Amino acid sequence: MKINKYFLILILFFLSQFTFVYGANKAELVDEISKNLRCLICQGQSIYDSNSDFAESMKILILRKISEGKNKKEIYEFLKSKYGDWIVYEPTFNKHTYFLWLLPLILFIFGGILILKKTLKVK
Amino acid sequence: MISNYIGFYALSFGLIISVLIIIKSIFFLKKNNEDKSKNFFSLLSSQFTLIIISFFSLIYSFVNSDFSNNTVFNHSHTTKPLFYKISGTWGNHEGSLLLWLLVLTFFILIFFLKSRNLKLSYRVFTIFFQQIIIFGFILFIIFTSNPFGILYPIPEQGLGLNPILQDPLLAIHPPILYIGYVGTSIIFSSSLAALVTRSMNQVWAKHIKKWIFASWIFLTLGIMLGSIWAYYELGWGGFWFWDPVENVSLMPWFCLTALIHTISVLEKRNMLQSWTFMLSIMTFSLSMSGTFLVRSGILNSIHTFANDPSRGLFILVFLFVLILLSIFIFFTYYENIKIRKIQFLFISKETSILLNNWFLMYFLSVVLIGTVYPIFLEAFTNEKISVGEPFYQKLITPFMVPFLILMALAPNIKWIKNKIEKLNIKILTLFIINLFLSFYIVKLTNTKYLFATLLITSAFFLFLISLRDVLNTNSLMSQRISHFAFSIFILSILFNSIFTKEFNSNMSVGDEMKFFNGTIKFLKINIYEENNYQNIKGTFKFKNSRNNNIYFEPEIRIYNQPNISTSEADIKTNLFTDNILNFNLINDKEYFSVRYQYKPLMFWVWISTFFIAFGGALTFIRKK
Amino acid sequence: MIKKKFNLILIIFIFSFIFLGLFLGLKKESYYVPKNFNTKKVINLKSKEFFSRKEIKLYDILKNDNLTIINIWASWCLPCREEHKYILALSKESNINLVGLNYKDKFSNAKKFIKKYGDPYDIILADTDGTNSIELGAYGVPETFVIENKKKKILKKYIGPLNKISFNEIKKIIKDENK
């Protein structure tokens, strides 16, 4: 495992190439939230990526809400009440989306059972 | 003008030949006389020639800016450079379908020539199924998206090509992707034919494997080119947006990757026939549904295409005819598969490949469900939701950890063997070292992701093990290179997302802004008049903490035909990091919104994807 | 044999379902318009009076009559000119409170607009950064809200310029409310 040592050194060298910043400030929180919001003007783009008037205003509003002490969840809830679930990229877990979140996992378990059957059947 | 007629009639004759081949193959298969294969060759090659003529007459119309042609009028303009006139041929819906068709007819010809050592009845059956697809496609083109529609009176000028599509990458991205998609149609027809003619065996596996690899390589490269385009052209700093149109190309990729692994089980051990069959059908169906989802306008995507619901309906019906046909064939000829009672031992290559398929199918189901669920929800309940990146990340990332570990360990497991090797101390220590290292990295960067440590650990694990394998052995080089490249790919994406930094601000000329690792100064703007657009070029000086200066010159282009403005980011790529700067007009035009992004390891994302595909390409070289 | 038939029926059932879903999906509009959120209570937004630029709260305006109509407009918005005649006509209704919300506009341009086309509003609010409109639940200009003052509920929302049909609808709402 000689290679291992060299790689440790290489990786450490690698890491020294990057800049580190600690903590998230308000502006970063705005970025984070606006990345999960969908723009209504250029649909398919996030509020973060969009330069439309709507998106610009939205970013100002988010910043204000954060300054007022609202947290991420409250901001999402507020916007969902105004524009519907459509506006967030991460679908809420509710009666409309049980299948969305659970079906892939159900299929995964189902697949696992099939494979177990195949490998453990003949002994 | 004349090229319109030539193109259209060549296409129509192509349809007639398609009918002829279908009839001929039915007669042939009834009588089963073995010596008339030459006729098929002449029919197939003349069909191919006709489609070439049709395709080239469309190119001819584009090059000459013949605006009597509807497609040319809608998508071209005389001021456009020659290169984009040519690439504009397949940069639109009608032309891209003609390209699909061209590749379809070309591939069946190649297939016919390259399958001489197989049963003739199998070959004819494949041609039969493939011609059904071709027949459907020509009908689709003629009735819903005719590229040779004639305009009268002839307009003086065209409407122009969307400037965002005027990019050299986008000129080659569709052809490459289509070769991948169309390759799956051969896999589809061929597995149907193999089931009907009882030839789903090791010889067939060896033969179809080449097609699977070829499609997979092109699909991989096609997806890669698409994301490189999105990265450079959209200039948002991202390369994968989990947009429906992107997801659609990823779905057949998961299937093909599963198929690559499964087919070797069939080749070496002669088992998993029905699973291979189902995967082949699924791969092609997903490629087709991709076309359906993109072209019907059913999805809401950043990549806007001209849409028409009647097109969607045609593809939908056609797709389901093909799917029902294959279900019917599967249930009728199911007995043709000899079910051998073979043992699957728990620790064996066979089982590990099953596990690989298990994970890939899971990833596929996540992407598939995430993409189509909103359509179904709206259709049945009228509720609209969006499914984006957070959904995919939450469902896929946790499963990457066991997947990567499996990917590291599985290639060294032998066929049919049922012995757990002594728990390898070296591998275990390696894993633990990785764990500490990753923990250190995650701690250092103050990342909140819970899975980050484990994910980096398993990616490093795969990296080191597959590196050892690449260095140690010379057998199965292609697989080892692909796995090794995949580990680099995952690591680059991980580090990229962890270390990415962004800075947004509104600035006007002369402003200077300080931020996390340097200062940005807005030096000046210049406005140029270019051939078909107005160019606003800004100059920015970026000074980082190490006192290096980088000058950025991003642009805002305001095109005249059609009237669209785009923002061209200035991206400085080097081996370890990308620095991106773009700017945009704000309403009152005194300020610009400026975004600086620091994106590490982008170069490695591309290069590793290339090597994943390159590993696949090695299988062709090794054989000779 | 029975199992095989069962599988076949199951698979065909699943695919028919998928077909149906996609078929129905084809007929739906893929562009999203948020129109089903009109029963919510409006929040007490902080805004500025247009001429004096003094801070003012929405609930202070929702006092006078039974109904308030908020019309979002801007001088740079062409459809706003189109619908302006309907707004002028609405201003003749005596028992409503007509509020204009000037969206992301230059003060001088907006003043010119009112001078040229007439000022129908009882009060104009200035939404200089566009956040008031978002808090109302609008996403563009023009948009018109009909609000019931007591419960502070949005009765109706019109996206885009008013036309003859929507104008008559609003008149009917006013009539019903003032019975």
Q: What is the ipTM of this complex?
A: 0.89
Higher pLDDT, B259 or B498: B259
Owning domain of residue C102 = 46-177
Question: Backbone dihedral region of C87: left (phi > 0), alpha (psi from -120 to 50 degrees) or beta?
Answer: alpha
For residue C39, is pLDDT > 70? no
On whether both C109 and C166 belong to a single domain, the answer is yes
Whether C167 is in a domain gets the answer yes
CA distance B543 to chain C (A): 32
For residue B315, is pLDDT > 90? no
On whether both C107 and C133 belong to a single domain, the answer is yes
In B, minimum Cα distance to A33 occurs at B390
- pLDDT digits over B134-190, tens only? 999 999 999 988 999 888 888 888 887 677 777 888 889 989 999 999 999 999 999
pLDDT at A12: 60
pLDDT at B1: 74
Contacts of A56 in chain C (CB under 8 A): 130
- pLDDT digits over C131-154, tens only? 899 888 887 889 999 888 888 888
Q: CATH number for the domain including C76?
A: 3.40.30.10
On whether both C62 and C134 belong to a single domain, the answer is yes
For residue B343, is pLDDT > 70? no
DSSP string, C31-84: S----S--SSBPP--EEEETTT--EEEHHHHTTSSSEEEEEEE-TT-HHHHHHH
Looking at the DSSP bridge assignments, the partners of residue C73 are C102
On whether both C27 and C50 belong to a single domain, the answer is no
On whether both C3 and C61 belong to a single domain, the answer is no
pLDDT at B7: 94
- pLDDT digits over B469-496, tens only? 888 766 678 888 999 999 999 999 988 8
pLDDT at B37: 64
Q: What is the mean pLDDT of residues B600-617?
A: 94
pLDDT at B107: 96
CB contacts under 8 A, A 33-92 vs C, are 40-41, 43, 53-54, 56-58, 60-61, 64, 81-84, 86-87
Confirm or reject contact between B305 and chain A (CB < 8 A).
no
Q: Which one, of B156, B474, B144, lies nearest residue B309 by Cα?
A: B144
On whether both C27 and C56 belong to a single domain, the answer is no
Rounded to 10°, the helix A53-67/A72-83 angle is 140
For residue C90, is pLDDT > 50? yes
Q: By three-state DSSP, how is residue B345 classified?
A: coil
- pLDDT digits over B517-531, tens only? 788 899 988 888 887
Structural domain count, chain C: 2
The mean pLDDT value of chain B amounts to 87
CA distance B481 to chain C (A): 39
Contacts of B306 (CB under 8 A, 6+ apart): B74, B92, B93
Contacts of C40 in chain A (CB under 8 A): 81-82
Contacts of C52 (CB under 8 A, 6+ apart): none
On whether both C57 and C130 belong to a single domain, the answer is yes
Contacts of B372 in chain C (CB under 8 A): 21-22
On whether both C124 and C152 belong to a single domain, the answer is yes
CA distance B376 to chain C (A): 5
Contacts of C21 in chain B (CB under 8 A): 372, 375-376, 379-380
- pLDDT digits over B423-438, tens only? 567 777 777 787 787 7
Q: Which of A118-122, B169-173, B269-273, C19-23 has the lowest mean pLDDT?
A: A118-122
**Sign of the Cα pseudo-torsion (A101, A104, A107, A111, in order):** negative
pLDDT at A15: 57
On whether both C133 and C60 belong to a single domain, the answer is yes
Contacts of C151 (CB under 8 A, 6+ apart): C41
pLDDT at B525: 87
Contacts of B309 in chain C (CB under 8 A): 26-27
Whether C39 is in a domain gets the answer no
pLDDT at B163: 72
Higher pLDDT, B536 or A25: B536
On whether both C62 and C21 belong to a single domain, the answer is no
pLDDT at B498: 82
For residue B624, is pLDDT > 50? no
Selecting from B292, B300, B380 the residue whose C-beta is nearest the C-beta of C32 gives B300
pLDDT level of residue A21 (50, 70, 90 thresholds)? very low
Q: By a Cβ cutoff of 8 Å, what residues of chain C touch chain B?
A: 4, 7-8, 11-12, 15, 19-28, 30-32, 104, 106
pLDDT at A1: 46
Higher pLDDT, B58 or C104: B58
Tell how many helices (H) and how many strands (E) occur in chain B. Answer: 17, 10
Q: What is the mean pLDDT of residues B109-126?
A: 91
Whether C36 is in a domain gets the answer no
Determine what percent of chain B is predicted with pLDDT higher than 70. 92
Q: Which of B415-424, C8-17, C161-170 has the lowest mean pLDDT?
A: B415-424
Q: Which of A17-21, A102-106, B140-144, C10-14 has the lowest mean pLDDT?
A: A17-21
* Interchain pair B370, A100: CB under 8 A: yes
**Residue A102 is encoded by which pair of tokens?**
């659970």
Whether C41 is in a domain gets the answer no
User: CA dist B527 to A20, B158, B383, B524, B557, Å?
Assistant: 37, 26, 47, 10, 10
In A, minimum Cα distance to B355 occurs at A115
